[in-house]
Copies of this chain bind each other. A is one copy, B any other.
Amino acid sequence: MGMQKPSIPKGTRDFGRKETAERNYIFDTIKAVFRTFGYVQIETPAMENLSTLLGKYGDEGDKLLFRILNSGDAFAKADLSADGPSITRQVCEKGLRYDLTVPFARYVVQHREEIAMPFRRFQMQPVWRADRPQKGRYREFWQCDADVIGSTSQINELELVQIVDNVFKRLDINVLIKINNRKVLTGLAEIAGFPDKVTDITVAIDKIDKIGLDAVKEEMLQRGLTPEAVEVIEPVLLLSGDTAGKIARMRNLMNGGSASGIVSQTGLKGLDELEELFGFISVAGIRSAVEIDLSLARGLNYYTGAIFEVKACDFPIGSICGGGRYDNLTGIFGMPGLSGVGISFGADRIYDVLKGLDKFPASLGSSTTLLFANMDAAVVPYLIPVAAALRAEGISCEIYPDTGKLKKQFDYAGRQGIPFISIVGSDEMSSNMVNIKNLATGDQRQFDREDVKNIKNFLQN
């Protein structure tokens, strides 16, 4: 046990007092909003069986799983002449949670008998990915997910939009909520005459903000679409105006009004869903901007209905929240046909936005309201009951533990952001008083030692 220069694994972070307080502010705000919508919190273990995790995130995802070496002598019975992946399979049975969705699906199937549907659950836990660490990308990060399963009503989609609106209103971040529907994307592929190329089309059009219309068209051609198909899709990418107008023009296209003349029932169903959702939104008092964005595809080939994405209006960063509806969350665990819709808040990006816009409340910087200076050991037993009475009233206070120079104690109050200090000496003790000074204003008062009510008033004003 020699001396070591300590460090933490790359891609992981320590959170100090200030960052933890700021992060809790985000988590607590989101939790409070989830709760007003009747969402209940659950927690799942950090470790899952690899049989639960493998194959759920594609080949790339499998590689990014952190695997736990079996305990005991993991190698005792392993065939070490095999290749690396085979040895890995022999010596690792568990992995760290990669997201909250697969553990949720596993949870629902495992506990199906206990769950009342519709089930509104939220979960806020860290996840781990062996990604290459880079700015803003970590190997340990937190996800905040809310999902409703067991109901196909668009009321659930509305609620998620309301949750987003409420959270960012409380955090004082202006956001734009973009909504699309996967069925409309399917319809688009159908009326373009390439029903099997939904993925190619969505991957291409998802890039329109980054690479522009011409490059998207070029990419669609490279992905095997014909110029005629691209001609069908182009007007959709150029749609502008209000939501009702966009839906009406899309309905016309899906109804045989495109250059191909093909009708897509799936596309029409998606438009019905969008129309119902926007009808609900119009009466819900949403304060954020909400718009339909038919280019929104969110990489994942996973959603089957609504697709959401949220962007901060006043800060340049990617999506800070997103989600959508899926129709087969639990099918992989043998429980098919369960529809759900969910969203996930990106805590790290929201943190960056609040930092960038300087929107964290100033009060998060300080944890202690009042410091009792300790000039003389004799004063300590005199102060202990005062501090105890204030704490019983919810006032955070400290007695400086070591008797010593006042300057050091003032420095401590300054570094900790403590706004009030009490300096009690023999004069105060003989008259049963305490002195309290507001360090910001210089205002100083004397109180009877038992007068907790007035001390509290002074500290809270």
Contact = CB atoms under 8 A, between A and B. Distances in A.
A9 B103 CA distance: 12
A64 to B, nearest CB: 8
Interface stretch (A40-48, A172-180, A185-193, A306-314): A40-48
A458 interface: no
Contacts of A3: 332-334
Interface stretch (A210-218, A242-250, A278-286): A278-286
Contacts of A107: 14
A68 to B, nearest CB: 5
Contact of A84 (B4, B74, B111): B74
A399 interface: yes
Interface stretch (A49-57, A263-271, A425-433, A441-449): A49-57
A12 B45 contact: yes
Pick the most buried of A8, A85, A156, A403: most chain B CB atoms within 10 A of its CB. Answer: A8
Given A15-B42, A35-B367, A116-B415, A84 B73 contact: yes
A22 to B, nearest CB: 11
A20 to B, nearest CB: 5
Given A17-B40, A111-B16, A166-B391, A402 B121 contact: no
This chain: how many copies in the complex?
2
Contact-residue bracket for chain A? 35 or more
B71 A396 contact: no
Instruction: Summarize A's interface: helix, strand, loop or mixed.
Output: mixed
B4 A333 contact: yes
A76 interface: yes
B280 A162 contact: no
A387 to B, nearest CB: 9
A389 B162 CA distance: 12
Interface string A65-86: 0111101011110001000110
A375 to B, nearest CB: 14
A340 to B, nearest CB: 11
Nearest to A12: B45
Contacts of A334: 3-5
A394 interface: yes
A7 interface: yes
A397 B46 CA distance: 31
Interface string A1-28: 1011111110011111100110110000
A174 B140 CA distance: 39
A48 B9 contact: yes
Interface in A378-405: 380-381, 384-385, 388-389, 391, 394-399, 401-403
5 contacts: A1-B332, A15-B42, A16-B42, A45-B140, A118-B402
The 5 closest A-B pairs by CB, nearest first: A12-B45, A71-B130, A3-B334, A38-B368, A153-B401
